Amino acid sequence: MTIQGTGTARPAGRPRSEKAEKAIIEATLDLIAEGMGVSELSIEAIASRAGVGKTTIYRRWSSKEDLVVDALATLKAPLPPLAGVSVRDDLITLLDAMRAESGNRRGRCVMNIAMSEADRHPRLTERFVQRAVEPRRRALREVLERGVASGELRPDLDVTLAMAILSGTMMWQSKWGPADGLPEDLAERVVDVVLAGMAPPAG
Amino acid sequence: MTIQGTGTARPAGRPRSEKAEKAIIEATLDLIAEGMGVSELSIEAIASRAGVGKTTIYRRWSSKEDLVVDALATLKAPLPPLAGVSVRDDLITLLDAMRAESGNRRGRCVMNIAMSEADRHPRLTERFVQRAVEPRRRALREVLERGVASGELRPDLDVTLAMAILSGTMMWQSKWGPADGLPEDLAERVVDVVLAGMAPPAG
DNA sequence: CCGATACGCAACGGTCCCGTTTCGTAAATT
DNA sequence: AATTTACGAAACGGGACCGTTGCGTATCGG
């Protein structure tokens, strides 16, 4: 047994540099965060930004899409823990996480990709949605369904439509809202308006 | 007077072909509608699609942005006439116009540009917003303010936030809603949920 | 030390598009 | 008829990337 104790046989030769790998992914995310679309993203630009030879990229990923998928995958979406006490609080928590991400340098990657590349890169989008979008969507749906069950929300509420309203509002804000960051109480205000409705209370 | 009666002196030589001009703009819009971003849009592709020499394009427009602006300008946004009776009806009219456009081949141009190119082409975006977005935004704001004044909406309603909720919801639907077109009653359902609120009626 | 693999770098031929120029032809004025 | 401008097509030199290859060096196991 000349094999490492871990059980995985280390192949001969110089091992791949983890530093280079990190630099490549960082460079990729940086470029995307700066508004570069996947189509305009060039391997040469990534290599240059990462201080790495193109060979080092091609050795690891066979296509640009694979690289982008892996890069985006490192952006774990740490879903905020939900208190689970009131639906209002949980909704605010979820929406505020979206707000915080839209201000985050890396969070914008997710937005930019989701907004721009949906049509043009369906395979990428599919994997990306499964990894980053679906978990949040599920969390939001669960909160809403819990609210319907508990009576905190209307029994006849169209949960899918409610999800569109909440998500769409936050997305709109992060795209066309004030350029210098969204106000801290935005999520709370959105939730309160949406819960109470825009119409005056029915006397 | 060898000048045309209209008063505009016709310059000597062969006049420019209106047919070619139309073909160029049509080709440009087609490509954008197919999901091509402004950055990926190439003059050669437009010329080829329009059945036109590149010279004919460069003679008329000095930059790609100018061409795109002119092309988008031909998409007049025919704001739907508002009945002005109830705020609910007017909101439904406005939102349903957005729904209809998202199904329209050419309407998608507006969406695609607005979603993807905002960061990368600020000058283009500025002119585009002024021409296509601002009128709708103004109409929506007026309806909401009228509702606040008339008592159909809460007196303390944050109109700007309400606009984000309504617009964002429709945009979200047209981007991630069912691929085979949005349901005809979507606008009505959105407006009713947003007006009445998701919370159950307070006793 | 030796073989194997990875590294950064530079160069390759190929493709796409740029913006310009040239060409022969078409359509208007004078 | 002569002049002027526009037309489509083709070709130009130039630039950006592509994906690949060769180079000398670095780093691993044996």
pLDDT at residue A76 greater than cutoff 80: no
Q: What is the CATH number of domain A87-196?
A: 1.10.357.10
Tokens, residue A123: 């395979």
The minimum CA-CA distance between B198 and chain A, rounded to whole Å, is: 5
Tell me the C-alpha distance between A139 and A171, whole Å.
Answer: 17
> In this structure, is the CB of residue A79 within 7 Å of any atom belonging to strand D?
no
Whether A201 and chain B come into contact, CB under 8 Å, resolves to: yes
CATH class of A18-73: mainly alpha
What's the pLDDT at A7? 53
What is the average pLDDT score of chain B? 90
Comparing A64-68, A146-150, B89-93, B120-124, which segment has the lowest mean pLDDT? Answer: B120-124
Q: Which residues of chain B have pLDDT under 50?
A: 1-6
CA distance A168 to chain B (A): 4
**Nearest in space to B112 (alpha carbons), one of B187, B31, B49:** B31
Q: CATH 1.10.10.60: which residues of chain B?
A: 18-73
CA–C1' B112–C15 (A): 28
Q: How far apart are CA B72 and CA B113, in angstroms?
A: 9
Give the tokens for residue B139. 């109409």
Q: Where in the sequence of chain B do the CATH 1.10.357.10 domains occur?
A: 87-196
pLDDT of residue B202: 75
Residue A59 burial class via C-beta count within 10 angstroms: exposed 0-12, middle 13-18, buried 19 and up:
exposed
CA of B78 to C1' of C27 (A): 37
Q: CB under 8 Å to B64, separation ≥6 — which residues?
A: B38, B41, B43
The whole-number pLDDT of residue A11 equals 79
Distance CA B109, CA B115 (A): 10
Q: Does A115 touch chain B (CB under 8 A)?
A: yes
